[in-house]
Structure 1
Amino acid sequence: MNIRPSSRRSPRLRRLALVVGLMLAAAGMGTAQAASAPDPVKPRTTGSVEHTGPVPGGYASWKDLLLDQQKMVRAADRITAALPGDGGGYAGLVAAPESRELRVYWKGRPPKAIDDLVGRLRREVAISVLPARYSARELEGEANRLIRANRDLITSIEPLQDGSGLNATTASAGATRTAISGAAVPVSVEPGVRPKVASRWDDSPPWWGGSVWGTPSPACTTGFAVTYQGVSKMLSSAHCASVGQTAADPTGQVIGTVTHSNASRDVLLIGTSAGSQVFNNPVNSVATEFNNAVIGTTSSVVGQYVCTSGGFSGTNCTIRITAVNVTINVGWLIQGTVRAEQQSFTNAAGGGDSGGPVEVTNPSNTNQVYAAGIITATDYGTQVPCTGYRPTGRVCTWRIYYSPWSNATTAFPGITLP
């Protein structure tokens, strides 16, 4: 997101940067300089990654809500893992912790295996199985057809989790009627949505997630340490650099070389020594940084609460998933993304945060987090004041899109956390 053009960038990425109008992420920061002093000592203290504001649904605390949410997501994973090969009549899932239930939508009658599984899962979490008009497979096929036929009009599209149809976004109200003409399923359209592909500032090996990097100027954020094909890597966003480019921190210290990239899922890998920690800071303050252990991955389910940890914006929480399996059009199509919205309409992420961690707090130990994905894009139609280390000279928004962990596993089969 918001990358300063580099002469080393491939012609394709330079053209795409012009098409989507990526602004300079490091406006007023100057160019990176070679490090002339030893790296600082990494913080060796942990801190709690916490949501703020009133707790929805009458819960006594965010911990109680997150514990119920965790049960719902685990149940959702069990259900999706048991789906037939073609998905059958499965339409979608919604975690509704404020209503204390997981909602499963199905076209027709679920097979006995799913019914039996839901019955067993109900011992741990309330589950409602509700009727759907269309299956997820039907909606995904129509979504792909519509956005490819209307690339100049549709900015994002995704299936509704209740199986009732599709939701599409357009850059302007005037594009609405044309964009959905001939649709085979109901389509709701929201105009004015403009996705834009979107430290911390002096890290050292083993590199942690949530720190600033660029090629060479600071422009993006590291995501999570991973292992791929038996080698240590750092996960970040594909739009940040090309394979073969050298990644460096803001002091000019080399992190490593970009070894793998997948633009359609917006994920890349940097070959480097990476540690299973991420930088965080108290929400609304960057005076104190701390580190948190990454203890696993989590699926992304509509209704779920997540936090972001951008190298430029810092840590922001109380961000709720509103759509999954979203295809966004930023000059090229990025598939499988997740739309999420800060519930108080304050900053969720902004310029320079691309590739940074999207995480879920472990309700049993708020010093630990689960990897949900990495920041991909912001919606320029939802601009708000920026937070963090560079609160001026950037664009920040309350609605974001991120590449979930499933995008990384799709692009790089066999990838794991260390």
Structure 2
Amino acid sequence: MNNPPRNRRSPRLRNLVAAVGVVLAAAGMGTAQAASAPDPVKPQATGSVEPTGPVPGGYASWKELLLDQRKMVKAADRITAALADFGDGYAGLMAVPESRELRVYWKGKPSKAFNDLLGLLRRDVAISVLPAQYTARELEGEANRLIRANRDLITSIEPLQDGSGLKATTASVGATRTAISGAAVPVTLEYGVRPKVASRWDDSPPWWGGSVWGTSSPACTTGFAVTYQGATKMLTSAHCASVGSTAKDPTGQVIGSVTHSNSARDVLLIGTNAAGRVFNNPLGNVATEINNPVIGTTSSIVGLFVCTSGGFSGTNCTIKVTAVNVTINVGWLIQGTVRAEQQSFLNAAGGGDSGGPVEVTNASNTNQVYAAGTITATDFSTQVPCTGYRPTGRVCTWRIYYSPWSNATTAFPGIAIITG
């Protein structure tokens, strides 16, 4: 799967100063000096991006967990793809690696067609069906109503996957409790959550994911190479630039022009020559860079373990999905995001990482990754020391929100991932 040698500038720190505490559209922005050295050979080595540290659920290894996780995601995809055939009882689902099972929540009595499908899926993965009070459709409708009516109070809102109600975050508990007192479903409040929209350093064509880019200065990270409407594009975050802007790397080399953007899903496309590979680092080591082929996409479900590859923070793993279909309020509403948390309360992403890859390691070959989405926002209430190429002068957090692959397909119907 390795590409033949190509010229690629190796990453190196510039005189970058990342802006801290600004709105999402400017997160991680800084200045850079132009490169004067000739281009060395770009990194050719692939390497493992397998998580490290204690493995939950009694698994013998992360590889064993990732294999089960992949089975759970495939089963979840089969279920959600066929929901129209089962009636309106679906509430949510989650992977529970600690119990080695996929849990599906359903309001009312599941149909025979649903049970028949589960019978087939249970040949590969354990699945439990548990009762729910509300359907996903009911919860989504009430969530949309509440956050639109209380934009000055609610910072995010999400359906609970067990169908019991909603969870909202706020900076003003008292006023928000009053505002949601007439909600049609139970709403749990979490206080203090503050989502804010959250670059490697000298890439060259064909462009890879995980490299630093910006317009007037380095500010964001490239995500994944895709095709859309017959052309090659780079997927990244909408809050990083506007349509018609010229995207550049930190040395001023032009990547391409922004051709499409959808702020409600925080996804953006740059027209450029891109390839289906991403930059990563061996965990905890930004002095050595590796590259990994993208072999496909993956859905995001609660319980999923992912890694991030921000241009500023480098590669970080053991980040677990805790909520899906989250609407966050960052001055405007971004829908369909995924909430994820680093399980040791270490850096998940920070300023300048916006638009960067969120990926899942292939258990069968840990040198390969699946595209899960692109980094959208950090939660300033969960600040931790930064990692990576610029560990100071930025804000980094253990809780993040990312725009899943489904947001890209919703915003840009017909989009397809480019594999490596």
TM over 0.5: yes
Moved more, 173-182 or 52-61: 173-182
Letter in 2 for 1:47: G
The percentage of aligned residue pairs carrying the same residue is 82
1:85 CA drift (Å): 7.0
Letter in 2 for 1:162: D
Moved more, 275-284 or 263-272: 275-284
TM-score (norm 1): 0.93
SS in 1 for 2:200: coil
Letter in 2 for 1:112: K
| Aligned twin of 1:109 | 109
| Aligned twin of 1:318 | 318
- Cα deviation digits, residues 156-177 of structure 1 (max 9, x gap): 0011000000000002334431
| Aligned twin of 1:395 | 395
Check the 8 A contact 2:157/2:167 in 1, yes or no. yes
Cα distance change on mapping 1:176 and 1:391 into 2, 3 Å: same
| Aligned twin of 2:28 | 25
- Cα deviation digits, residues 84-109 of structure 1 (max 9, x gap): 17961100011011101000001111
Structure-to-structure mapping, 1:11-410, within 5 angstroms: 20=23, 25-27=28-30, 30-33=31-34, 35-84=35-84, 88-198=88-198, 200-410=200-410
Gaps of 5+ in 2: 1-16
Moved more, 49-58 or 271-280: 49-58
Letter in 1 for 2:60: A
- Cα deviation digits, residues 338-392 of structure 1 (max 9, x gap): 0000000000000000000000000000000000000000000000000000000
Check the 8 A contact 2:199/2:219 in 1, yes or no. no
Check the 8 A contact 1:154/1:179 in 2, yes or no. no
| Aligned twin of 1:9 | none
TM-score (norm 2): 0.93
1:182 CA drift (Å): 1.0
Check the 8 A contact 1:372/1:404 in 2, yes or no. yes
- Cα deviation digits, residues 154-206 of structure 1 (max 9, x gap): 00001100000000000233443134221100000101000000161000100
1:37 CA drift (Å): 4.4
- Cα deviation digits, residues 83-135 of structure 1 (max 9, x gap): 11796110001101110100000111122211100011001100001110000
* CA distance in structure 2 between the aligned counterparts of 1:350 and 1:172, rounded to whole angstroms: 25
Root mean square deviation, CA, Å? 1.8
Cα distance change on mapping 1:106 and 1:267 into 2, 3 Å: same
Report how many residues are paired. 402
SS in 1 for 2:98: helix
Cα distance change on mapping 1:300 and 1:21 into 2, 3 Å: closer
* CA distance in structure 2 between the aligned counterparts of 1:356 and 1:175, rounded to whole angstroms: 36
Cα distance change on mapping 1:141 and 1:86 into 2, 3 Å: farther
* CA distance in structure 1 between the aligned counterparts of 2:276 and 2:73, rounded to whole angstroms: 22
* CA distance in structure 1 between the aligned counterparts of 2:49 and 2:175, rounded to whole angstroms: 41
* CA distance in structure 2 between the aligned counterparts of 1:258 and 1:144, rounded to whole angstroms: 29
Moved more, 252-261 or 198-207: 198-207
Cα distance change on mapping 1:39 and 1:230 into 2, 3 Å: farther
Cα distance change on mapping 1:57 and 1:362 into 2, 3 Å: same
* CA distance in structure 2 between the aligned counterparts of 1:355 and 1:25, rounded to whole angstroms: 12
Letter in 1 for 2:28: A
Structure 1 runs (4+) deviating above 6 angstroms are 2-5
SS in 2 for 1:98: coil
Check the 8 A contact 1:32/1:217 in 2, yes or no. no
1:282 CA drift (Å): 1.5
* CA distance in structure 1 between the aligned counterparts of 2:27 and 2:352, rounded to whole angstroms: 9
Check the 8 A contact 2:362/2:368 in 1, yes or no. yes
